[in-house]
């Protein structure tokens, strides 16, 4: 099938310039002085887990329950079951990162920079014969997509050029078209034999065996903010598009589902990306400050939001302080912000904006049926240690996310002391963990163990990965 296009008819200027500036900054189209005022200063990166640059893209774990966020500096944040395989945060980048693309099984990913440079992690092979980083391209790369079930990649630029790498087949580009707004995203079709290019005004251009969604009125609509991202609806030919203010549009409009948006609500920074659940029954929106908003069946699994206070270096707490806080919580004593009572285990409990007990979630739940996590105010294992450290340190030192996220913000120690965190799972350079507790000595820990149990003292598990503490 040849090129199919939804005609562009809107020449009106729209709001949302701050989000477009964020997009163009990440792509290298504007100078760094155009960074939104609310973005994190570079110095905030002195603490692990804090943002050195805005979050520019998100991607869902293929076939699983998890997602990744990537910052313009190449920092990667993984949540749920999405594994962490490394990042480009400590590499010298000539241009900022603009996209993260998972491999077929989610056991690796590529980070793509605005100059077309591709950084491979996990089982993702580096594309051979990639001339882009050393080529003067007419417009920066703004998006990337995997070519079906292959290791091939399509990269697109703001002017609509498409580059095929790693065996992907070139299907056409929009460089011969007059664009009213720049291209912001490329999305592969389910078969991997075509792709859509999506522009900032909502125009959609289909290439290869890819139809343009019917009923797209966005190019002729006065949008309140520019389109900044797009994702395929599961394994269908439908698309979800999102704007900088968090509005979501479903295409084809006649039958594609919509599960809500953030439009009309206050955002600390503009929305920068959208990712579909594998089944296409929900989606995540991410903002430049690392905020994550879940809709439909997409469950909230954590975010990368960090405040200036949280990112200021502090002296680690004493071991005795951590153990005392964990013991007080276990015994139901009153602590700062909590009147006191025993706290039950709740799947996904303790992962709100602020540390402390919250209602849990049934998303990804693996305990006994029926799931009552969303009716239980409590803590899961990582929510518990997050709260303990927040009370002991005086700020959210561990941050949100799972034990997999927390372990990467800490330093491993060979001689554990009471108050260190004990992680359990599979070891390696990037451990995959399933549990964490506060080590109290004598091969024991205080932890939130499982559904139906309160926070308690237990022996260490047999699959100990190691002991970790705050760096510094």
Encode pLDDT of 103-157 as tens digits. Answer: 999 999 999 999 999 999 999 998 878 889 888 888 999 999 999 999 999 999 9
Same domain, 169 and 239: yes
Same domain, 356 and 418: yes
CA–CA distance, 438 with 398 (Å, rounded to integer): 13
Is 301 a domain residue? no
Confidence of residue 308 (pLDDT cuts 50, 70, 90): low
19 vs 184: which has the higher pLDDT: 184
Alpha carbon distance, N-terminus to C-terminus of the chain: 58
What is the residue-averaged pLDDT of the chain? Answer: 84
Which range has the top average pLDDT, 286-300, 386-400, 443-457?
A: 443-457
- Residue 394: both structure tokens together: 């005086």
Sign of the dihedral defined by the CA atoms of residues 413, 416, 421, 425, in that order: positive
With beta carbons less than 8 A apart as the criterion, state whether 63 and 107 touch. Answer: no
The structure's pTM equals 0.64
Domain end marker among 230, 263, 296: 296
Helix (H) or strand (E) holding 100: strand 97-102
- Residues paired with 287 in a beta bridge: 271
Q: What is the mean pLDDT of residues 227-234?
A: 96
CA–CA distance, 410 with 468 (Å, rounded to integer): 6
pLDDT given at position 394: 83
Helix (H) or strand (E) holding 108: strand 108-113
Is 75 a domain residue? yes
Confidence of residue 25 (pLDDT cuts 50, 70, 90): very low
Q: What is the mean pLDDT of residues 278-299?
A: 93
Is 310 a domain residue? no
- Residue 210: both structure tokens together: 């890819």
Is 232 a domain residue? yes
Number of domains in the chain: 2
Q: What's 50's domain CATH number? A: 2.120.10.30
Same domain, 91 and 151: yes
CA–CA distance, 434 with 382 (Å, rounded to integer): 9
Residues composing the chain: 472
Between helix 319-330 and helix 381-393 the angle, nearest 10°, is 130
194-199/204-208 β-pairing: antiparallel
Is 116 a domain residue? yes
Domain end marker among 244, 265, 296: 296
Same domain, 27 and 112: yes
Same domain, 400 and 452: yes
- Residue 432: both structure tokens together: 């995959």
CA–CA distance, 193 with 186 (Å, rounded to integer): 13
Same domain, 237 and 376: no
Same domain, 288 and 332: no
pLDDT given at position 328: 96
Is 311 a domain residue? no
Confidence of residue 42 (pLDDT cuts 50, 70, 90): very low
- Residue 277: both structure tokens together: 């659940």
Q: Is 143 helix (H, G, I), strand (E, B) or coil?
A: strand
Same domain, 219 and 331: no
Q: Write out the E strands in 217-314.
A: 227-232, 239-243, 248-251, 271-276, 282-287, 292-296
Is 306 a domain residue? no
Confidence of residue 472 (pLDDT cuts 50, 70, 90): low
Domain end marker among 296, 330, 348: 296
Helix (H) or strand (E) holding 162: strand 162-165
Give the pLDDT confidence of 454-468 residue by residue, as tens digits.
999 999 999 999 999
Confidence of residue 405 (pLDDT cuts 50, 70, 90): confident
Same domain, 363 and 273: no
Q: Exposed/middle/buried for 134, CB within 10 Å: 0-12, 13-18, 19+?
A: exposed
Same domain, 231 and 358: no
Asked if the model's pLDDT at residue 34 lies above 80, the reply is: no
Same domain, 261 and 345: no
CA–CA distance, 411 with 192 (Å, rounded to integer): 41
- Residue 339: both structure tokens together: 């009147």
Same domain, 343 and 288: no
Q: What's 347's domain CATH number? A: 3.90.1720.10
Range of the domain at 341: 319-469
Is 27 a domain residue? yes
């Amino acid at each position: 099938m040849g090129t199919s296009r939804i005609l562009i008819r809107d020449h009106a200027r729209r709001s949302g310039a701050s989000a477009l500036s964020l997009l163009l900054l990440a792509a290298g189209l504007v100078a760094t002085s155009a960074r939104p005022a609310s973005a994190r200063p570079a110095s905030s990166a002195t603490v692990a887990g804090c943002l050195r640059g805005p979050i520019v893209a998100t991607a869902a774990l293929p076939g699983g329950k998890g997602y990744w966020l990537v910052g313009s500096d190449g920092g990667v944040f993984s949540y749920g079951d999405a594994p962490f395989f490394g990042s480009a945060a400590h590499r010298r980048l000539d241009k900022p990162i603009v996209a993260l693309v998972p491999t077929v099984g989610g056991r690796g990913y590529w980070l793509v920079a605005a100059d077309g440079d591709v950084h491979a992690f996990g089982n993702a092979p580096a594309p051979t014969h990639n001339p882009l980083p050393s080529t003067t391209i007419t417009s920066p790369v703004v998006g990337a997509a995997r070519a079906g079930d292959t290791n091939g990649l399509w990269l697109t630029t703001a002017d609509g050029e498409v580059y095929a790498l790693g065996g992907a087949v070139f299907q056409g580009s929009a460089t011969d078209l007059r664009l009213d707004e720049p291209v912001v995203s490329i999305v592969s079709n389910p078969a991997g034999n075509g792709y859509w290019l999506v522009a900032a005004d909502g125009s959609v251009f289909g290439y290869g065996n890819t139809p343009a969604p019917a009923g797209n009125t966005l190019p002729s609509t006065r949008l309140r903010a520019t389109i900044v991202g797009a994702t395929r609806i599961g394994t269908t030919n439908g698309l979800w598009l999102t704007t900088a203010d968090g509005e979501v549009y479903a295409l084809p409009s006649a039958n594609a589902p919509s599960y809500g948006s953030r439009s009309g609500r206050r955002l600390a920074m503009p929305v920068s990306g959208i990712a579909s659940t594998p089944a296409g029954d929900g989606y995540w929106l991410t903002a430049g400050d690392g905020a994550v908003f879940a809709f439909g069946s997409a469950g909230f699994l954590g975010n990368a939001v960090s405040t200036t206070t949280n990112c200021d270096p502090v002296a680690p707490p004493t071991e005795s302080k951590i153990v005392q806080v964990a013991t007080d919580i276990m015994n139901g004593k009153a602590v700062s912000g909590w009147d006191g009572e025993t706290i039950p285990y709740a799947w996904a409990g303790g992962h709100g904006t602020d540390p402390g007990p919250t209602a849990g979630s049934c998303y990804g739940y693996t305990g006994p049926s029926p799931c009552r996590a969303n009716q239980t105010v409590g803590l899961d294992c990582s929510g518990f240690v997050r709260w303990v450290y927040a009370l002991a340190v005086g700020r959210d030192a561990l941050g949100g996310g799972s034990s997999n996220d927390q372990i990467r913000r800490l330093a491993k120690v060979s001689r554990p002391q009471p108050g260190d965190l004990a992680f359990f799972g599979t070891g390696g350079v990037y451990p995959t963990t399933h549990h964490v507790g506060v080590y109290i000595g004598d091969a024991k820990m205080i932890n939130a163990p499982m559904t139906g149990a309160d926070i308690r003292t237990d022996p260490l598990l047999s699959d100990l990965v190691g002991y970790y503490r705050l760096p510094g």
